[in-house]
């Protein structure tokens, strides 16, 4: 069963625990700037939205890589960057329509979410469950439920 990160921005408090857990897991430091997940702050609205790689089925980053440094992990479904193969050209960063592939100044290579090998630290660290790791086929279920709750069934029945 494929799993994926499910993000419910309504539950995010902007605590940045996801960023801290990610940076520690991947870089060995508590530094949100080195995280593969980011929390975007909408200051005027007082809202926070976590975002990271969505592991696209048609991964433009993977298709754009001239040295085939990005490959799909068949077990997790994550598009992973091989640091040994990556030449740091940054073409994938341009190809990603969501801006979730980033250049790491320290290594001279690109970094992106790899789902922590199937056990994402961001989801484990999130105290409000704004980020969860769920069955990939169920990620739209809550949105469908919310839409169904808004629907006026009484009118439809008449």
Q: What is the DSSP code (8-state) at residue 149?
A: H
Which is nearest to 53 in space by CA: 30, 27, 73, 28?
Answer: 73
Domain ranges of the chain: 1-52+116-158, 56-112
Output the CA torsion sign for 148, 14, 40, 28. Answer: negative
Which architecture characterizes domain 56-112 according to CATH? 2-Layer Sandwich (3.30)
Confirm or reject CATH 3.40.1710.10 for domain 1-52+116-158, answering yes or no.
no
pLDDT per position as a tens digit, 2-14: 889 999 999 999 9
pLDDT band at 150 (very low <50, low <70, confident <90, very high): confident
Is residue 6 within 8 Å of residue 131, measured between CB atoms? Answer: yes
pLDDT per position as a tens digit, 62-102: 999 999 999 999 999 999 999 999 999 999 999 999 999 99
pTM: 0.83
Q: How far apart are the C-alpha atoms of 17 and 19, rounded to whole Å?
A: 5
pLDDT per position as a tens digit, 7-34: 999 999 999 999 999 999 999 999 999 9
Instruction: Give the burial class of 70: count Cβ atoms within 10 A of its Cβ; 0-12 exposed, 13-18 middle, 19 or more buried.
Output: buried
Strands 109-111, 102-104: pairing is: antiparallel
């Amino acid at each position: 069963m494929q799993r994926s990160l499910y993000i419910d921005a309504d539950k995010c408090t902007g605590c940045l625990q996801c960023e801290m857990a990610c940076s520690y897991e991947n870089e060995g430091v508590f530094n949100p700037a080195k995280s593969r997940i980011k929390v975007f702050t909408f200051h005027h609205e007082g809202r926070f939205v976590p975002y990271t790689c969505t592991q696209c089925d048609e991964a433009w980053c993977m298709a754009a890589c001239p040295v085939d440094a990005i490959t799909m992990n068949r077990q997790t479904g994550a598009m992973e960057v091989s640091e040994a193969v990556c030449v740091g050209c940054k073409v994938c960063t341009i190809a990603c329509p969501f801006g979730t592939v980033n250049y790491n100044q320290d290594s001279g290579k690109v970094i992106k979410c790899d789902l922590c090998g199937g056990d994402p630290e961001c989801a484990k660290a999130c105290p409000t469950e704004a980020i969860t790791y769920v069955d990939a086929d169920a990620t739209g279920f809550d949105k469908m439920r919310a839409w169904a709750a808004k629907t006026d069934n009484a009118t439809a029945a008449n």
